[in-house]
Structure 1
Amino acid sequence: MDIALFSPSSLFPEDDDSSSPDETTETQQSYVERSHEFPGMELLIREFSFHQLNANLLWPGTFAFAEWLVQHRSSIEGRRCIELGSGTGALAIYLRKLFCVDITTSDYDDQEIEENIAHNCRANGITPVLPHLKHTWGDTFPAADPDWDLIIASDILLSAEVRLPRPAFLMSWRRRIGKEDESLFFTGCADAGLEAEHIGSRVYCIKPRHSAVLETI
């Protein structure tokens, strides 16, 4: 499994900007193209050498989630999915090719990210490219009447006993956030009428508070 290596410090902006006034802040984007082994499939994925919005990496959780879905394909077959934080689009491309799943990619409102996902779709034989939704969290959601019934994000590990409602949002919560910010997130969920159910090791299913369970995985 070919996973990009990175420095944790690259995930955060530098406090001390020592650039001289004569230095330009705009540089031509550079890429690294790698072959990645997914279960039963090899994908050629172009990644940014660096991206200020941290959309340049394939996280290890992407491969773990792909392996789980191969074993529990009923969790995604027949769903209308949107992936938040698609980055390079690798996971969505894999799910489209393996399961022919109806999936939309999504990430920051950033043209480079959208163009790179489209490039990776074409590089792996997906034409037309996957639908993409540009959305920076905190901004007004651009889809007025969304019809997705499953929201996914990579870095997810689940157990076979989990019962998923429709709609559902599956997420893991593992890194780069403090306890105080974590508490604010879950308090915000409760205030919005959502229930966050702890279903595994730092894994949560977020759903409307009185959502009916319609299927068992």
Structure 2
Amino acid sequence: MTQAIYVALDFPNWKETCQFLTMHDLQGVPVKVGMELFYREGPLVIEKLKSNNHPIFLDLKLHDIPTTVGRTMKNLASLDIDLVNVHAFGGSEMIKRAKEGLGSSNTKLVAVTVLTSMDNEILNKELMIPSDVNETAQKLALLANKSGADGVVCSVHEAEQIKSACGKDFITVTPGIRLEGFHSHDQKRVATPKYASEHGADILVIGRSITGAEDPKRAYSQALKECGLNDIK
């Protein structure tokens, strides 16, 4: 059962981000802050969003040596955000150090399995990984679970089997969500909010289907309705 829907704030700066949220009366909705916005505005953007009561998923996909990731997480822990992520391909020790870096904060650590822009051809021919996407995602989820992560970022199409393998409390964060009628763009493994909610997704991340809609608030409400969640006021 889906617990929340995060809007991906894929804007280049705070000015455009603030205009979007204010113009469409989306104050207080859960949001995802990615590299583009965070690298431009820094921690200040988190403070501004928190002042408007937005739950925050900081999507930086850290992937570096364990010591560097651990120290970085110590800094990010002070932001008191809801979710932050690393790449599961960084390995067990890196994931463990990331979790340790968060210390006693309430921030949940999720590990990215296979990006939703990837398919079997990219995985096999470009990255030279012989298994298919679903199998690779599940193996990385098991690694993340064993290494102390609270959950994973995965495609909707892997969420159910990951839940089955890692337990019902293991969080599945699913990007690649598209409302009916929206183009999938550069993401290959996509699904509707209703499908995601019925197939093991705990947290949905929706970007262009909401930010690019004629009426973003209505689009967000539609996604909530499909998942059986309460509408925003």
TM-score for both structures, normalised by structure 2: 0.33
Answer 1 or 2: higher relative contact order, Cα 8 Å, separation at least 6: 2
TM-score for both structures, normalised by structure 1: 0.35
Bigger fraction of residues in helix: 2
Q: Radius of gyration: which is bigger?
A: 1
